[in-house]
Amino acid sequence: MKTILITGSTDGIGKLTALKLAEEGHEIYLHGRSEDKLNTVINELKEASNNKNIKGFIADFSDLNAVKQMAKQINKDVDKLDILINNAGIYKTATNKTKDDLDIRMAVNYLAPFILTENIISVLEKGNQPRIVNLSSAAQSTVQKGILSGDATVNASESYAQSKLALTMWSFNFAKQHSNITTIAVNPGSLLNTKMAKEAYGQHWSPAQKGVDILYSLAMDSIHANKTGTYFDNDRGGYNNAHPDAYDVEKINNLLTNTTAVLTNV
């Protein structure tokens, strides 16, 4: 039995992956930003999976202090984590800025998983052959100067693509820093049948199950155990190259320096 945390798991592929893992009897921690919805999904999955070992954490990932509080809660309540799936992400939003005046997609899709993961390393290191699966995207675009601090403004699709490349760059660097944790970035599939894709594009190309299956495999299957610091592209059905910037040490170092600078002011 593994202990698994999936962020953004009150709907979409996060929820469906949680159900699949819960049905196998694993200990599951869900995450959502609404307490009511989180509790509803916990009860729903307990019933559907016949697994009572499902709990949850609440945090609005656009509020980076709430993410820090969630990390503190995990350190307090969770003895060890075998698997972390950084699934939470947004594309279409009512507002483009967080209350701290940061780009909202950059905050939710990159800064939040960065803060969460970096602050629960000790819990992950206690896990049995721990793994982190970071949800990237086929959309990856060079991270512009000023985008992290909220000084630069770009459109939604560009902001989303930059946030996903930032996550991938950090993912590769994290894998180098923590060789005892298998860390893989994944494009789970373009335009899956999820709420996010429908809101953003009004259509889908593939069933949500395509994304669920690869998240499950990356988290559980032994064939991925030695693939740390890589990128799995589910559109192409295998390991592939991410954006060239993800392999550029200077650009990665710049990103991490800017990330640290931004987070000291939040």
Handedness of CA 239, 245, 250, 255 (dihedral sign): negative
Q: Mean of the per-residue pLDDT values for the chain?
A: 92
C-alpha separations of 239 from 197, 227, 233, 252 in Å: 23, 9, 6, 21
- Find, among 183, 173, 152, 170, the residue nearest to 112 by Cα: 170
56: CATH: 3.40.50.720
| Model confidence, pTM | 0.94
Helices 156-177 & 112-119, crossing angle to 10 degrees? 20
Range of the domain at 90: 3-264
Q: Is 88 or 192 the better-scoring residue by pLDDT?
A: 88
pLDDT at 207: 61
Handedness of CA 159, 172, 121, 1 (dihedral sign): positive
C-alpha separations of 7 from 63, 88, 108, 258 in Å: 14, 5, 11, 24
How does pLDDT run across 8-41, given as a tens digit for each residue? Answer: 999 889 999 999 999 999 999 999 999 999 999 9
The Cα 88–Cα 5 span in angstroms is 11
The Cα 185–Cα 167 span in angstroms is 8
List Cβ neighbours of 216 (8 Å cut-off, separation of 6 or more).
Answer: 17, 20, 21
Work out the pLDDT band at 198, boundaries 50, 70, 90. very low
The Cα 91–Cα 99 span in angstroms is 17
Number of domains in the chain: 1
Work out the pLDDT band at 199, boundaries 50, 70, 90. low
How does pLDDT run across 63-117, given as a tens digit for each residue? Answer: 999 999 999 999 999 999 999 999 999 988 889 999 999 999 999 999 999 999 9
The Cα 1–Cα 79 span in angstroms is 14
C-alpha separations of 51 from 26, 77, 179 in Å: 8, 19, 32
- Mean pLDDT, residues 35-56: 97
- Mean pLDDT, residues 50-56: 98
